[in-house]
Amino acid sequence: MWCFPPSASGISDIGTPLGPWMWGLRCHHESCPPCPPAYGVWERRGWEAEQEAPILCGCIIGSLENYYHFHHSKTFKRSTLSSRGPHTFLRMDPKVEWLQQQEVRRRVKRHVRGDPPSLPFNDPVWPNMWYLHCGDRNSRCRSEMNVVAAWQRGYTGRNVVVTILDDGIERNHPDLLQNYDPLASYDVNGNDHDPTPRYDASNENKHGTRCAGEVAAAANNSYCIVGIAYNARIGGIRMLDGDVTDVVEAKSLGIRPDYIDIYSASWGPDDDGKTVDGPGLLAKQAFEHGIKKGRRGLGSIFVWASGNGGREGDYCSCDGYTNSIYTISISSTTENGYKPWYLEECASTLATTYSSGAFYERKIVTTDLRHRCTDGHTGTSVSAPMVAGIIALALEANPLLTWRDVQHLLVRTSRPVHLRAADWKTNGAGHKVSHLYGFGLVDAEAIVVEAKKWKTVPPQHVCVGSLDRVPKYIRPDHVLRASTLSSACSEQREQHVLYLEHVVVRLSIAHPRRGDLQISLVSPAGTRSQLLARRVFDHSNEGFKGWEFMTVHCWGERAAGEWTLEIQDTPSQVRNKTLKSFCFFVGWRFLPFCWLHTVHAGWSRWLLAFLPDNRV
């Protein structure tokens, strides 16, 4: 298609008869119809036209002066052959300076899709899994965890093994049978290899089966739900249906560490607002063995529910499992981004998923005992298996991730989005963090994308130091402040700590009513972590005996500088204010991964950090 004045000499000057392979259209100059793809030609001087002459339209290319558009009428639209003859004749014409045969190019509209491309799931409860596809028109949740997007990138948990530490799993459940892995299972309570729960009239031992379905329920089997890592292998350790001892926990945490990648636990000490408890000596050693030797030296990954003691005013820093550097502590939010009634706060929480909320808000659907499904799964018990499934997607993307790499990825990719909390702050490394939600809502797509290109964090450094050994008196209604200036072992190359991961403060406090205490830590960058809040039901006079409080709120900050610990005593009405309390600073440590520890009274710094990398 082309344009020219009828009297223009260019018609006969092109060098070949034009009629057979081009055509023209008479119209007003300002309303030429669009041209079909053909040749783009730029002519040196343009074609002069008589001012009053009509224009044959179809070749002027927009407002580009002296550019023309030609169309060969006998060229097939889908032909794979080039139009060499006309092309050559045009190029030979002395008036033509540039020539290009036009090809169709793919262009996509850059609108935001209202719905993700549908996946062909025939599982009947899939439409009710609002937390996995909350971008659809029927969902009220406002932010995605982007699980579907991770699936669309090809990650479904294949070749990753996840085990649920709980009351057993129903291994022959139709939605679990396909992915059930006997090598990842054991019955610690019964000392056999069958993790099937003990059945009773109340279905008391349903918890593990519900958690397992969240992780690895099979897809497209026309039954129940779709697991987040629906191609992962799933096992169960039956260990809660009986007396739970340090030995039971240690055995459960240490089963097949070279085979099992991820251990998910949605249990802990009583969430009654007055208990201070954690793993015993053997369980601690099992954790340490797992992170050092598990997954052939990459480290076992332990995912833990942060706790359901919110109604009792509990604080999850009094739970030694969620408060451990070796576990990934996971919180919950409602579909509307509110704090659930059961949620505990603390500075050790790393990230958040959706879960249940008020009675009018939707809950989580999953597998249930006796081959059933349920929409009654609630609490932070929901959140740990969700993150275990998302980590399984990340391990499929990069099987060489270490246990610390996984924590870094969660810090980097979790997002505050619409999660409602009054205490959101930006730490000295630029990370937004909250005592309710950690670093925010997990993002499955972001974590698999980051995992694919992730480089392993450098090894740990060890830095040792000590402080004043004199006990400090805590005055009622006052704040005790103690500061220390840390060099982070800058004078020792092999021990120098640069950037932080975890910070652990180890304290011994003698106090007549433990629940009256509040403890905060302020980093050199000014980031304040509340290590303990008041607990109205904690009337204990036992205080704290070498208890370790942990925070992740300083993640990525530099370790060197002045650290300040603040302890506030706010006496309750039931307490005798004349009773004195003392604090012994037994120690604190900064991690990743450098231990600063002293055995004498006073406090010590355990500094754990990595070499300059700026990957924080």
Give the start-to-end residue ranges of the domains of the chain: 10-101, 126-401, 472-610
Backbone φ and ψ of 531, nearest 5°? -80, -25
Mean pLDDT, rounded, for 149-173: 98
pLDDT at 17 > cutoff 70 = no
Mean pLDDT, rounded, for 4-22: 40
CATH of 472-610, one of 3.40.1590.10, 1.10.240.10, 2.60.120.260, 1.20.120.1200: 2.60.120.260
Higher pLDDT among residues 473 and 513, named by residue = 513
Q: In which band, very low, low, confident or very high, does the pLDDT at 484 lie, cut at 50, 70 and 90?
A: confident
Shortest CA distance to 69 belongs to which of 77, 80, 83, 58? Answer: 58
Higher pLDDT among residues 351 and 92, named by residue = 351
Determine whether 246 is an active site residue.
Answer: no
Question: Do 126 and 134 form a contact (C-beta atoms < 8 A)?
Answer: no
Q: What is the pLDDT of residue 594?
A: 37
Shortest CA distance to 603 belongs to which of 483, 497, 489? Answer: 483
pLDDT at 445 > cutoff 80 = yes
Catalytic residue among 166, 175, 443, 569: 166
Mean pLDDT, rounded, for 538-564: 92
Mean pLDDT, rounded, for 591-607: 33
Question: Do 215 and 236 form a contact (C-beta atoms < 8 A)?
Answer: no
Q: What is the pLDDT of residue 546?
A: 87
Q: In which band, very low, low, confident or very high, does the pLDDT at 586 lie, cut at 50, 70 and 90?
A: low
**Of 139-143, 234-238, 579-583, the least confident:** 579-583
Q: In which band, very low, low, confident or very high, does the pLDDT at 216 lie, cut at 50, 70 and 90?
A: very high
Q: In which band, very low, low, confident or very high, does the pLDDT at 102 lie, cut at 50, 70 and 90?
A: low
Catalytic residue among 381, 414, 486, 581: 381
Shortest CA distance to 99 belongs to which of 54, 145, 39, 45? Answer: 39
pLDDT above 90 coverage of the chain, percent: 59
**Contact partners, residue 507, CB within 8 Å, separation at least 6:** 519, 544, 546, 547, 549, 583, 584, 585, 586, 603
Mean pLDDT, rounded, for 392-402: 99
Burial, 101: exposed, middle or buried (Cβ in 10 Å; 0-12, 13-18, 19+)? middle
User: Which residue type occupies 503?
Assistant: V
Catalytic residue among 72, 173, 207, 461: 207
Q: What is the pLDDT of residue 50?
A: 38
- What is the per-residue pLDDT across 37-67, written as a single tens digit (0 to 9) for each? 444 455 444 444 333 333 334 455 543 556 6
pLDDT at 615 > cutoff 50 = no
pLDDT at 509 > cutoff 80 = yes
pLDDT at 486 > cutoff 90 = no
- What is the per-residue pLDDT across 356-386, written as a single tens digit (0 to 9) for each? 998 888 889 999 999 999 998 999 999 999 9
Spell out a b/e string for 322-346, using b for 16 or more CB atoms within 10 Å of the CB, else e.
bbbbbbbbbbbbbbbbbbbebbbbb
**Contact partners, residue 245, CB within 8 Å, separation at least 6:** none
Determine whether 166 is an active site residue.
Answer: yes
Higher pLDDT among residues 583 and 297, named by residue = 297
Determine whether 173 is an active site residue.
Answer: no
Mean pLDDT, all residues of the chain: 81
- What is the per-residue pLDDT across 240-255, written as a single tens digit (0 to 9) for each? 999 999 999 999 999 9
CATH architecture, domain 126-401? 3-Layer(aba) Sandwich (3.40)
pLDDT at 117 > cutoff 60 = no
Q: With a threshold of 0.85, does the pTM exceed it?
A: no
Rounded to whole angstroms, what are the CA distances from 498 to 407, 458, 575? 18, 12, 44
Q: What is the pLDDT of residue 488?
A: 73
